[in-house]
Structures are given as C-alpha cells and as structure tokens.
Structure 1
Amino acid sequence: MTQTHLQERTGIATLGGNPITLLGPEIKVGDQAPDFKVNKDLMTEVRLADYAGKVKLISVVPSVDTGTCDAQTRRFNVEADKLGDDVVILTISVDLPFAQSRFCGAAGIDKVVTLSDYKNRSFGQAYGVLIKEIQLDQRAIFIVDANDTVRYVEYLTEMSHHPDYEAALEALRALV
C-alpha cells in the first residue's frame, strides 16, 4: 500500500495548533480491527493475529521521547498490572525498537508491549493515524476485543493532549 493511494483526512487534528493530514481510514466502534505488521525488535515482526484471543488496548504515541507519550505509556503500564492475563496493552510508535527498549528500561516499563511502526508504517496506515507531514503516528487509543472487533476509539484532535484515560479503562474493564 503506497501513501499516495491512502485516504487523506484533514481538518480533524493539529500539532501545536497547526493542521495536519492523517493518512488512512477512520476506524469506528464496531469495525473489524485491521491487520497490521509492526516490529517487536529490529528483526521480529508481529501482527494483530499474534494477540488473538486477548482483549487489546492499543495506545498509539508519536514518540516515547516526549512528555505526554512518556506519561501515557507509564499510566497504562501501571494499569496493566490490574487487568489480568486476558488483556494485552500495546504501545505503538514510529520510534526505532532500540529507542523503545531504552525508554522502557529507563522508565521501568515492564507490563506494556512496545511495538515499532518504523519499517513500513503499516499500523499508522491501517488505523488512520499516520501523519502525512512528519511520518509519525498521531496519538490515539483503540480497544479491540478478543474477537478483533473494535470496541473503543479515541483519536486525539491535538497531538500534545492526553487521551481520556478513565473512559478507555472503563471500556477495557467492561470487556474482561
């Protein structure tokens, strides 16, 4: 899939107040979760099917090296401890796996699975969060049930804002 053929969505999100273009479809509650291919490390690719049978909270961040992304990842890491084995929290960014690993080590992130969309932006394109202008993924939250149906979606309208943690966690708890 090439970016020139992707749906472009404008007028819905900003970066520092400046308009950005999101590439890919808008995912809605009730949709079948699109497949994607991301990297767990430089050589290991994973797909949605690798988390089959689990409820998935997908926390999308532009870069783990920013304050809001750091806080978002730490918050979900704390919550992951309370959710049980039927739930996986995936944090997806375009950061290289090296940077994600360094961040997790320094921040004590050990419950959230960090995945990198750096290689082909498969996740960003499939979930409509790839920012055309800077090739990072826009902040968003997706909750996908054990049957891969999308049950919760939050696209942030301003990249620097925090997601609604409580609403996402409430939707997640309703599935487990």
Structure 2
Amino acid sequence: MTQLQERTGVATVGGNPVTLLGPEIKVGDQAPDFKVNKDLMTEVSLSDFEGKVKLISVVPSVDTGTCDAQTRRFNVEADKLGDDVVILTISVDLPFAQSRFCGAAGIDKVITLSDYKNRAFGQAYGVLIKEIQLDQRAVFILDTNNTVRYVEYLTEMKEHPNYDAALQALKELV
C-alpha cells in the first residue's frame, strides 16, 4: 500500500491543527479520478460527469451549520447555471443522512455524494483529515476536460468558502 502524503500546518478544526492526507491539488492540474457513493450500493466516478463543468463542494458533514449553508447556497446558484454545469457536494456522511438532509432542506439541484466507504475522494484531493477521517472544506472547479480551474482549501473547518470567487470562476467556463 502506498503511503499517503501528509500535509501539516495548512488546516485547523476548531483552531486545533490537523493533518491533511493526500496531495495538494493546484489550478492547471488534471483532476484525479475518484469513486464515491450515490447511495449505499451505487458508486459514481468523475467520468460519470463527462462533458460538464463541475463545481465540487467538499463539506465535512451536511448536518453542521456551515456545511448546510454552503450546500444551500450552491443549490440556489445551480438554478442559474444551465445544463452544462453540475454541482457535486461531497462529504463522508452516509448516503441516508445526505438524502434526509436534502429532503428536509429542499436541495434538488446539487448532487450529494458520499466518500464514506474508502475516503477515495478525500485522499485523491488532499482533503482527508487524518485525525477525524472527515473531508476538510474545499471547493474545486473542473472544466469539461477535467482540468482544475479553481481551488480553495479552507484553512479552518468552520470558515465559509469565497462563494463569489468560486461562482465567478465557474461562470467564466460556461
């Protein structure tokens, strides 16, 4: 088994330093493939969204205030973006919890995907928090060829992403 890269000094949870596992993804990189779960049995990968511009919103858990707000904000914006864009929200929440959250919150434009099974997304995108096995908050935007066009890793888990910057970068691709 390959040893995952460990990155320290780049993220905190409640002000406490944590270790992120996996590489730091940069603008211009080819986006790593990943497998996550749409439901308990159905896996999807990056290729399932081929030909679309992708905004990947990474949240630790949809059941927290900041993650809830982030998912709701991108759901509202998704309506304005057209069919050439897909917004994916990825967390380690079980698919049941994601489905319950979406139903209660009226999330119907964002696709929630679960990294619960083997944390493959978190490891591939350098957001897996070693100490608590959750994915650190981040936003990635990929063009139709899966080239990374925007990256924001949040330093503190409780911080909100820069929604305006992410949405501006997204709109430049469509």
Q: Give the TM-score normalised by structure 2.
A: 0.99
Please report the RMSD computed on the Cα atoms of aligned residues, expressed in angstroms.
0.6
- Which amino acid is the alignment partner of residue 10 of structure 2? I
The runs of 5 or more residues in structure 1 that have no matched partner are none
1:29-50: CA deviation from partner (whole Å, max 9, x where unpaired): 0000000000000000000000
CA distance in 2, matches of 1:62, 1:13: 13
Offset, 1:20: 0.3
CA distance in 1, matches of 2:70, 2:55: 12
Which residues in structure 2 correspond to 1:70-149 (within 5 Å)? 70-149=68-147
1:142-171: CA deviation from partner (whole Å, max 9, x where unpaired): 000000000000000000000000000000
- Which amino acid is the alignment partner of residue 48 of structure 1? L
Offset, 1:125: 0.2
Offset, 1:65: 0.2
Offset, 1:117: 0.1
CA distance in 2, matches of 1:91, 1:12: 22
CA distance in 2, matches of 1:105, 1:132: 30
CA distance in 2, matches of 1:148, 1:73: 22
Residue in structure 2 matched with residue 170 of structure 1 by the alignment: 168
Which residues in structure 2 correspond to 1:27-42 (within 5 Å)? 27-42=25-40
After TM superposition, which residue ranges in structure 1, 4 or more long, deviate above 4 angstroms? none
CA distance in 2, matches of 1:12, 1:96: 27
Offset, 1:115: 0.1
% identity of equivalent residues? 88
Number of paired residues?
A: 174
Offset, 1:54: 0.1
CA distance in 2, matches of 1:107, 1:15: 25
Offset, 1:87: 0.1
- Which amino acid is the alignment partner of residue 173 of structure 1? K
Q: Give the TM-score normalised by structure 1.
A: 0.98
